[in-house]
Amino acid sequence: MDTSLKDAYIMVVEDDPNAQLITLDLLRLGGAARCYARKSVASALSYAENLPQVDLFLVDINMPGQSGYDLLTAVRASDKYGSAKVVAVTAGTLDADVSKARELGFDGFISKPLKMSEFVKQVERILAGEIVWDWR
């Protein structure tokens, strides 16, 4: 799937309101027109059902209740958005965290805090089919 940032449907799943706002702002400043945010896995999946498609989920790993791993499992099992890319966007950058994300099949990994000068380029590369694995 090769989708431009301008045309992509992007779902940000982030429980921290400040991190959510920064992520959305960077995406929109970079040219994303269809980016949405929810603070829980359940809410994101429910909202995604009403979208025509989801090209990319940018998901925090450690959230109360369901985690980013739970979202990955649900997306991969879905007929509707099972082909969407799922990228971990997290502060959990210990070797064990990075290895677990890779083993479970995330399509990419971007560490927090986000690098303002690189984040949009990273998302564009992911949408173009490249693998971005940036854990510092």
Question: Which CATH number is 126's domain given?
Answer: 3.40.50.2300
Q: Do the beta carbons of residue 126 and residue 85 sit within 8 Å?
A: yes
Task: Identify the band that residue 93 occupies on the pLDDT scale cut at 50, 70 and 90.
Answer: confident
End-to-end CA distance of the chain: 27
Give the chain's domain count: 1
Least confident of 83-87, 103-107, 132-136: 132-136
99: three-class secondary structure by DSSP: helix
Q: Which domain does 23 fall in, by range?
A: 9-134
In a domain, 2, yes or no: no
In a domain, 54, yes or no: yes
What is the percent of the chain with per-residue pLDDT over 70, rounded to a whole number? 99
Q: What is the pLDDT of residue 128?
A: 95
pLDDT, tens digit (0-9, with 9 covering 90-100), for 27-86: 999 999 999 999 999 999 999 999 999 999 999 999 999 999 999 999 999 999 989 999
